[in-house]
Chains A and B, each alone.
Chain A
Amino acid sequence: MPTVSSQDVLALAPVAILALGGIALLLSEVFLTSGKRGYQAFLTVLFAATAGLTAFGATPGKVFAGQATADAFSAFVTITVSFGLALAALVSASWLDARGAERGEFYALSLFAASGMSLLGMASDLLVAFVAIEIMSLSTYALAAWMRRGKKPAEAAFKYFILGAFSSALLLYGTSLVFGATGSTLLSDVARGPLQAGGSALLSAGLVLVAAGLAFKVAAVPFHVWTPDVYEGAPTPVTAFMAAGVKTAAFAILARTVLAAYAATGGAADSAFPRVLAVLALLTMLVGNLFAVPQRSVKRMLAYSSIAHAGYLLLGVLAAGLPAVRERALSGVLFYLASYTASAIGAFAVVGALESNGQPGDEPADAWDLERLAGLSRRRPLLAFAMTVFMLSLAGVPPTAGFVAKLLVFQAAVGAQYLALAVVGVLTSALGAYYYLRVVVYMYMRPAAEGEPAGVTSPVLSVALAVAVAAVVVLGIGSEPVASLARAAAAVVR
């Protein structure tokens, strides 16, 4: 008789803390009617910090007969997600407060989403992964619709929902085929291959559908069409959280699944799986970067850039297929996710601070135009400096986190003999530098337009930006502590 042991509960503590925090904030919203809501963001940060610390100190082990695994890998994912949640909560507090839209439900949904992400980092069973993905996705659909009176958020949420639900259905049907072929949904059983000799076609079909479902979640080309619209239409702090958190969690499960799929289809060398993944990575790097170039809207540019970063990350996951470089590649991917979390949330926070706050949800098309950043260095020198740091990091310029992350991933790709893809990665990064640095040029070299508003300022936003800048710089200059954590995390994944 399977029972819930105290070990299971302890291992799941980070997830439970985030979920309980969500429930607590939900109830605080209706039972504490003080009108002041400043405490909610701080509670969220507190819960996120507790969850992160718990994950850091957790003892590794299997949970629920191997359906989930608490290990260094899941701990790294949980810490990254919690860090992203805390940053996003502070950014949201200032953004929502300026629009009079701050409610406990917002933070509750963020916490629920983070608990799903954290669970996704632990999942070593396709069904648990499905449930975790749904916890994460349902919360983020609702968050995207937060400013539901506006046309854009409603439309963004709707597009996100339809394509998200569609991808979940692909994932689930794929899981059912895998279940049929291997008699189990455990990734460790899936890695052993089909039960009967004839089951390999069924297994491959299932794995392809699972991978397609996950490719939607990480916004890999050609499953990326929803990304620009959803990222543009959703409230900016929500976009920040989605870009960082969903990407981190989805890549965590993608890595675990791909490794199981490699094993199940007879090693990396002679199966079609790596080839398909290589094509996805190539397309994602190219399309993401090429489409980002002509964008005038900074928010939309960042959306395409998030697709491009998914391409680099896919390259890392692809390289992880080779056992010899697995540890290096996976640690590169994890470090990249941590670096992207800090840079992307910071960049979106600046965008959010500058957008008009008259009619939330119905911003004009040029609400995020490059022109709004013109002369920012004179109006808001510190904000312009922060944005510069984030842009340099996203572009991969030393001495920022983004540089180290790209270096680790490309080195792993070269080590795994994906030379052509690594070259494409470097070239597209150079292209990326063009549109990231264009933002910097606008801030420092263009005169400000007449009557351009200064944007929102608030202490919490300053704290969030300062932390993000510090994280980007520290990860760039003294990357060793986090990189060694990432290596330890990568070492435990088989």
Chain B
Amino acid sequence: MTPLESYFPLAVVFALALVLGLALVGLAALLGPRRPSRVKEAPFECGSDPVGDARGRFGVKFYVIALLFVVFDIEAVFIYPWAVQVRELGWNGFATMAVFAATLVAGLAYVWKKGALDWE
């Protein structure tokens, strides 16, 4: 069995889901009664009355946290392959990674002391 053939059952499930979904929506549209009213056409917001525009602005604090997260998070792509091979890479690899991590720690110390992590 080639790799693609092993996905055949999955394709069947997808096809069934598609057919079933289309059939149910189509039947409902075909058979169901239609009595639109103002309340029914209001945008649904978890049962409560809709408040304001959906495109509200986020506080800039969120962006700062997000930026910091992205930068620090991505460094895992270097740490992960090293962690997998840690015994083979030995002390030389450990020293290299220690320098890398120390750089990150310096960055963290700066960010922390600068107050970028304080929410208030």
Contacts and interface: CB of A to CB of B under 8 A. Distances in A.
B117 to A, nearest CB: 12
A4 B96 contact: yes
Interface of A is mostly: helix
A26 B110 CA distance: 7
Interface string A1-43: 1011000000000000000000100110111000000000000
A3 B92 contact: yes
B57 interface: no
Interface in B97-118: 103, 106, 109-110, 113-114
Contacts of B106: 23, 26-27
Contact of B110 (A1, A3, A27): A27
Interface string B82-103: 0000001110110110000001
Contacts, number: 21
A30 B95 contact: no
Given A26-B106, A30-B114, A31-B113, A1 B96 contact: no
Interface size class of A (residues with CB under 8 A): under 10
Contacts of A1: 88-90
A102 to B, nearest CB: 16
Interface in B32-59: none
A29 B106 CA distance: 12
Contacts of A29: 110
Contacts of A31: 113
B118 to A, nearest CB: 13
B103 A23 contact: yes
Given A27-B106, A30-B113, A31-B113, A4 B89 contact: no
Contacts of B113: 30-31
Nearest to B99: A4
Contacts of A30: 109-110, 113-114
A137 to B, nearest CB: 16
A1 B113 CA distance: 39
A470 B92 CA distance: 46
B96 A27 contact: no
Contact of A27 (B89, B92, B93, B109): B109
A3 B89 CA distance: 8
A4 B106 CA distance: 22
Nearest to B109: A27
Nearest to B96: A4
A23 B106 CA distance: 7
Nearest to B92: A3
B20 to A, nearest CB: 43
A28 to B, nearest CB: 10
Contacts of B88: 1
B114 A4 contact: no
Q: Which of B88, B89, B95, B113 has the most CB of A within 10 A?
A: B113
A149 to B, nearest CB: 14
9 contacts: A1-B89, A1-B90, A3-B93, A4-B95, A27-B110, A29-B110, A30-B109, A30-B113, A31-B113
Interface of B: 88-90, 92-93, 95-96, 103, 106, 109-110, 113-114
Enumerate the 4 nearest inter-chain pairs by beta-carbon distance, A residue then B residue, closest first: A30-B113, A3-B92, A23-B106, A26-B110
Interface of A: 1, 3-4, 23, 26-27, 29-31
